[in-house]
Amino acid sequence: MRHPRPLLRRRSVAAHALPDSVPPLLRRIYAARGATAAEGLVRDLNGLADYRPLGGMEAAVDCLEQALREQWPVMIVGDYDADGATSTALAIEALRSLGAQHVGYLVPNRFTQGYGLSPALAEEAAARGARLLITVDNGIAAHSGVRAARAAGMAVLITDHHLPGEVLPEADAIVNPNLPGDIFPSKSLAGVGVIFYVMLALRARLRTQSWFEAHGRPTPNFAELLDLVAVGTVADVVALDANNRILVEQGLRRIRAGRARAGVRALLRVAGRDPARVAASDLGFAIGPRLNATGRLDDMALGIECLLATDETRAATLAQRLDALNRERRELEQDMREQAMSAVEAAFARLDGDALPDGLCLFDPDWHEGVVGLVAGRVKERFHRPVAVFAPGADGMLKGSLRSVPGIHIRDVLADMAARDPDLLPRFGGHAMAAGLSLEATRLDAFSALFAQAVSRHADDEALQPVLWSDGELAPGEFDLQTAEALRAGGPWGQGFPEPLFDGVFAVHAAREVGQGHLKLQLRDPRDGRLHEAIAFHYAELGMSPDGGRDEARYAFRLDVNEYRGERRPQLLVTGYDLIVDEAGGDSAHI
């Protein structure tokens, strides 16, 4: 079958007032992302948004101050992904540094307890003597869990960033930048960003009460928590708006300067990354997957303990265990991905890519529920359709994970389906690009049909057409290490502030397969005859053949630095092949 072929569009460059001190190539790239004045590039901490406009903060700080003064036992209720792990570790570190003496944490088991604060988890917290529950990266939909906790005599503070429903849980305080009417300027805070802001507000309150002088303890420096904030923010793939870019950049600076916590350093080492040269992508592709793997296959406590470790040896031991789990996760994902791709090919073998259902639904009784989200992401990337992937859950329900494409808000799709068939979805939640749900096995066919219909209702004319947005061509003299280094240093890049992508016409000089389905290339630039090292990951999914394909074709690529045996060279990371520039496109508002 023919897969949807991407259009290549060039980002338009807005008029700007960026200073001449910014290199011309970066000025062009920044302007195309909406940073049209110098203040849009601020990466220092004094540019951070103030915590005070964040709704619910006064009530949250009141609750936390009372808990500190009366030394209530506090229980952090986390989530089993990288954002949840970093949020949990940050809350524990911050509260302990402020003087809390009894702080523990609970993370639900993905397979037996499900997501977030449940009545069973509240019961466990009460059994451990908790007086205050603080949710991090979850809780905004935990109505029954909050009721159970308060009925057991506990106060509940919810800190979350997920979109709320029409009715909020009856917690003592809720801090979430996405609550209706909230005027906090950064709606894209990750869960770890939300709890970081709560701790900033609590520290400010305690300063006004002369808390630190009265207790003979130093005022904690919360900049020491920014490596955790950076990891959780990048790993959760939230939009890197101006505020999040500051948080991530400051965390990266601490890591590069050797001031990261032992667990972060250990995770970088087992991933083969040099902390002194770490970029945002290393947090997303090296640390994030290793933390997520333990939540997908085992107990996220391993990841949290690694982040909390102060002893280098213990941190290294835990990081090695997380690395082993990540290798196991990769093997599971590879098998499931191949099966999922084959299932789509078999089901729609006689259809062109344009005739695929607008929403794809896949299930196999042998799949692992901890990896369905990764598989959904891979299928979505290949076929450019919202995808729902299901596996059997431990409670007899099907556990599904959904991934979407730009322009289709997947949680809104689920809400639409639930409104039309109220009995279909007993539990679901998420945000624009990802969601999770539980489903009765007998309703899978009904879900599949309704899902495709709901996606169709929410898709605009171009949502199902894949588009690669390019920053244009590089000049022949820009394919060098200096340019690659400048691009790495010009970030942080990520969701909503995408890493620079270029396009150009090349001929294949040499090609050889490496690893599992990757292609190492030498590409000749016809403009000057120079050869450029390149690599295409999962090249078959790009439509390339093992010999590299056509003699001359237009490629989309990122210019990166390849480090091998101490040598650093520029390398093209190929993301698109045999492309045609869509001259009618180019509106950067679509980015």
Q: What is the pLDDT along the chain (591 residues), one digit of tens a residue?
A: 445 678 999 999 988 888 888 899 999 999 999 888 877 788 999 999 999 999 999 999 999 999 999 999 999 999 989 999 999 999 999 999 999 999 999 998 776 677 789 999 999 999 999 999 999 999 999 999 999 999 999 999 999 999 898 899 999 999 999 999 999 999 999 999 999 999 999 999 999 999 999 999 999 999 999 999 999 999 998 999 999 999 999 999 999 999 999 999 999 999 999 999 999 999 999 999 999 888 777 788 999 999 999 999 999 999 999 999 998 888 888 887 788 778 777 766 544 445 788 999 999 898 888 888 888 988 898 889 999 999 998 778 999 999 999 889 999 999 999 999 999 998 887 778 888 999 999 999 999 999 999 999 999 878 888 899 999 999 999 999 999 999 999 999 998 899 999 999 999 999 999 988 899 999 999 999 999 999 999 898 888 999 987 789 999 999 999 987 778 999 999 999 999 898 766 554 333
Write down the pTM of the prediction. Answer: 0.88
Domain coordinates of the chain in residue numbers? 7-35+467-590, 47-324, 348-458
Q: How far is CA 465 from CA 364, 382, 588, in A?
A: 28, 12, 16
Q: Which residues contact 121 (CB under 8 A, 6 or more apart)?
A: 77, 106, 108, 113, 145
Sign of CA dihedral 205, 210, 215, 218: positive
The SS3 call for residue 452 is helix
Interstrand relation of 132-136 and 155-159 (parallel, antiparallel or unpaired) = parallel
Distance from the Cα of residue 564 to its chain's centroid:
27
Q: Write the DSSP assignment of 129-148 as a string of letters.
A: T-SEEEEES--TT-HHHHHH
Q: How far is CA 445 from CA 30, 310, 390, 543, in A?
A: 46, 50, 12, 31
Q: How far is CA 41 from CA 192, 224, 446, in A?
A: 22, 23, 48
Tell me the one-letter amino acid at 474: L
Tell me the one-letter amino acid at 519: L
How far apart are alpha carbons 234 and 59 in whole angstroms? 29
188 half-sphere exposure, CB direction, 13 A CA radius: 21
Among residues 505, 509, 511, the alpha carbon closest in space to that of 476 is found at 505
Give domain 348-458's CATH number out of 3.40.50.10490, 3.10.310.30, 3.40.50.261, 3.40.50.720: 3.10.310.30
Q: Where does residue 151 fall: left (phi above 0), alpha (psi -120 to 50 degrees), or beta otherwise?
A: alpha
Tokens linked to 262:
């032992």
Q: Return the biggest CA–CA distance within the chain.
A: 75
Interstrand relation of 518-524 and 7-10 (parallel, antiparallel or unpaired) = unpaired
Among residues 572, 413, 400, 563, the alpha carbon closest in space to that of 480 is found at 572
How far apart are alpha carbons 433 and 410 in whole angstroms? 6
Among residues 186, 176, 204, the alpha carbon closest in space to that of 56 is found at 176
Tell me: domain 7-35+467-590, CATH 2.40.50.460, correct?
yes
Are 389 and 344 a contacting pair, CB within 8 Å? no
Sheet holding 427-430, edge to edge: 360-363, 387-392, 398-403, 434-439, 427-430
CATH architecture of structural domain 47-324: Alpha-Beta Complex (3.90)
How far apart are alpha carbons 388 and 523 in whole angstroms? 37
Among residues 256, 290, 253, 255, the alpha carbon closest in space to that of 271 is found at 290
How far apart are alpha carbons 470 and 458 in whole angstroms? 26
